[in-house]
Amino acid sequence: MKYLFQGFAFSLLLVLGTLLYAEEEKGRLGDLWKQIAEEGNIVLKKSFNALSKITDQFIIDLEQEISEVSDIIEGQQSLNMEDKIDSIRLFVEDVGELKKKQTKASSFTIISKSKKDYRIKIDEVLKEIEPVLFDGQVVNYSERIRKAKRGIEDFEEKKVELNEKIIFAPEESSLFNTSKDELRKEIEKIEILTKKSEKLIDKLEFDLKRKMSALGIKLTREQIRIMTTRIDGDDLAKSFAIFDVTKQITQTLGLMMEQNSFSGSATTKYYGIYVILSEILGYSQRQYIEKIDEIYMPALTVVQKNIEDSIEFAKNSIKETDNEQNKKILESNIEANKFSLSVLGKYKEILIGQRNSIEKAVERTNEQIMVAYSTYDTAVNSANLINLISQTQESFNKIMDMQLPEIIPFENSELENKFNEISEQLLKATS
């Protein structure tokens, strides 16, 4: 029994690790597990009580996470435009200077820095700026939803284990034994965790659907679930979040320019912020393409190779067995793996299609960046800047439309389950 409950302790802590994100929290829980492990030889009841406290804390932590998402949905953590604009403004001169040097530099040189070298330096600055845009906003929907779903699966497993333990547990509690009633109460806590995890998933899906709707993208809950299942789900959410935040900041910049149109230097500074926003959009697009090329596609190749190896193994096994029943099982395994390959092929088509769309969007974004820099560098008329800012909204919308993924509902549950299964395999291959 001692080892069974220690195993339960370890499993619960693994689940905790999937949903708790703060490093401080992870450290605290890790210390608690260390204490339990060190004192595991003392008494079983002490370990169980420690586990119960962990479960209680887990409920509190989940409730806090739900509350944070709820605050975002209700607008209590709306964008602080003033802070964001002030923060971005600090980088205007640095980015502008690097851009001038990039323009003058050669495409290839051994002695001095090339255009590519300056591009890398600009991207390093943009990487530093990017977190400013998402402060207080949920971006990693897919990751958080996946972790919550894994948590639910683990909770169900623990519930089964505890139900089994109830059969053998005594009616009365003692120093060394956990009673049936105590185990039932622990099951009730796990059921609460399951419900709270489901609630968190619902709120995350709702918030993503809400944000998409605000951008003019109408998606059903089913389409949202498909989107968050994809390996590039968070990349999609992030790209849309950039459009959302950029549009809001750009609108504010337009108002500030109009308010201070008498000051050429002020409006030029505002426009410098807009230039950086355009650069960040391009940076995000390039990062997305890089992920598809260097992470997701190689991961697909790994998964494909594993499936093909399984098919080859089954085929060879059929040749080596005379048992008809075993042959049927192996043939069934081959057919299942062939189905996996067909779904994987569709997965690859989705990613390639998304990559092609982003590449086209990058061309449009680069054109916008070129015009923005030229205007910023030569700006003398605030009215021209204001007009250009107002025209930008339409440009952003067109670029966003070019990046919109085609999200087709699954034909059946079998296809959906296999798609989800492959997504999990891809996640493992990329971790």
Q: Is residue 134 part of a domain?
A: no
Does any domain span residue 107?
no
Q: CB burial class (10 A; 0-12, 13-18, 19+) of residue 348?
A: middle
In this structure, the answer to whether residues 209 and 237 fall within a common structural domain is no
Residue 165 sits in the same domain as residue 280: no
Residues 153 and 270 reside in one and the same domain = no
Residues 243 and 350 in one domain: yes
Do 405 and 267 sit in the same domain of this protein?
Answer: yes
Segment 314-368, tens digit of pLDDT: 999 999 988 889 999 999 999 999 999 999 999 999 999 999 999 999 999 998 8
Q: What are phi and psi of 134, to 5 degrees?
A: -105, 10
In a domain, 359, yes or no: yes
Cα 356 versus chain centre, distance: 21
Residue 226 in any domain: the answer is no
Q: 161-188 burial, b if ≥16 CB within 10 A, otherwise e? A: bbeebbeebeeebeeeebbbebbeebbe
- Contact between residue 256 and residue 374 where contact means Cβ atoms under 8 Å apart: no
Asked whether residue 197 falls in the same domain as residue 288, the answer is no
| Residue 127 in domain | no
User: Are the C-beta atoms of 177 and 170 separated by less than 8 Å?
Assistant: yes
183, 214, 245 - which closes a domain: 214
* 176 shares its domain with 264: no
- Tell me whether residue 85 is in a domain: no
Which residue do the tokens 């709707």 mark? 213
How many structural domains does the chain have?
2
Please name the residues in contact with 365: beta carbons below 8 A apart, sequence gap of 6 or more: 278, 281, 282, 285, 399
Nearest-angstrom CA–CA distance, 226 and 217: 15
Would you say the pTM of this structure is higher than 0.85? no
Same domain membership, residue 415 and residue 336? yes
Closest CA to 65 of 14, 23, 21: 21
Residues 164 and 257 in one domain: no
Are 366 and 402 in contact by the 8 Å Cβ rule? The answer is no
Q: Which domain holds residue 346?
A: 233-430
Domain boundary among 184, 214, 244: 214
94 within some domain: no
- Asked, for residue 102, whether it belongs to a domain, the answer is no
Q: pLDDT 10s digit of each residue in the chain, 431 long?
A: 444 444 444 444 443 344 444 444 444 444 544 444 444 333 456 666 666 777 888 788 888 888 888 877 776 555 677 888 888 888 888 888 888 888 888 876 666 688 888 899 999 999 998 888 876 567 788 989 998 998 899 889 888 988 988 888 888 877 777 888 988 998 999 899 999 999 999 999 998 888 888 777 888 888 898 889 899 988 988 888 888 888 888 888 877 777 766 566 777 777 888 889 889 989 999 999 999 999 999 999 999 999 999 999 999 999 998 888 999 999 999 999 999 999 999 999 999 999 999 999 999 999 888 888 877 777 655 556 666 666 666 777 778 788 877 787 777 788 888 888 899 889 888 87
